[in-house]
A and B are shown apart, each in its own frame.
Chain A
Amino acid sequence: MYIAGIAAVLVTMALTLARAFMGPTVYDRILAVNSFGTKTVLIIALYGYFTGRPDFLDIALVYALINFIGTIAVLKFFEYGDLGRDRPSQPDDI
């Protein structure tokens, strides 16, 4: 049964990768990377159960954290042109 879940997540990974490659805008790529990170969390959790050793869920936990922090860092880069210098957004930055 876990293999069905893994297959579903792998198919979704392929679709997400296609979106990340085609991209048209940078935001599409960021969205694809973020969504891909969630899929990685899922596949690691499912694989742990598939092999019968679900004690490796810590990795999935770290992934969930890193993914969120990464997305926010990237978006800060895009809104302000760099990673969080204290100044208001200027239109010529992007």
Chain B
Amino acid sequence: MQAFGLFNYWVVVLLMMTGLYIVTASPNLIKKIIGLNIFQTSVFILYITIGKVSFGTAPILVDGVSRYSNPLPHVLILTAIVVGVATTALGLALVVRIHSAYGSINESELQNEDAADS
């Protein structure tokens, strides 16, 4: 059973790398933001995995339970989720603005247009 103890981390690494692949390989800006979100969620899962204690329960105090999971990663991730959505909204607003200025959200087309302008 010890060997499976690292399974969560491996899936987290897989998700992280999927997000990184989307961000680097996809030319489309909306797809890049989706990739960024996938990456972000994998970090959340990493933190929550660290906070889990076997046979512990959620850190909401009740009588007769003495083993709780660690509440600190939960607090950090709670903040991170909200900030993450705020940055996603800002990124998507930038995409909309770029589209209305250039007429395209394809990275290579944008670079071509910039090169033609200068």
User: Contact residues of A with B, CB < 8 Å?
Assistant: 51, 53, 55-56
List A contacts of B58 (CB < 8 A).
53, 56
Can you show 6 pairs from A to B with CB atoms below 8 A apart? A51-B57, A53-B57, A53-B58, A53-B62, A55-B60, A56-B58
Complex CA gap A56/B58 in Å reads 9
Closest B residue, CB atoms, query A53:
B57
Complex CA gap A53/B60 in Å reads 10
List B contacts of A55 (CB < 8 A).
60
Complex CA gap A55/B58 in Å reads 11
Closest A residue, CB atoms, query B55:
A51
Closest B residue, CB atoms, query A52:
B57
Complex CA gap A55/B60 in Å reads 10
Chain B nearest Cβ from A56, distance in angstroms: 7
From 52 to 91 in chain B, residues with beta carbon under 8 angstroms from any chain A beta carbon are: 57-58, 60, 62
Chain A nearest Cβ from B38, distance in angstroms: 16
> What 6 pairs between A and B have smallest CB-CB spacing?
A53-B57, A51-B57, A53-B58, A56-B58, A53-B62, A55-B60
Chain A nearest Cβ from B34, distance in angstroms: 15
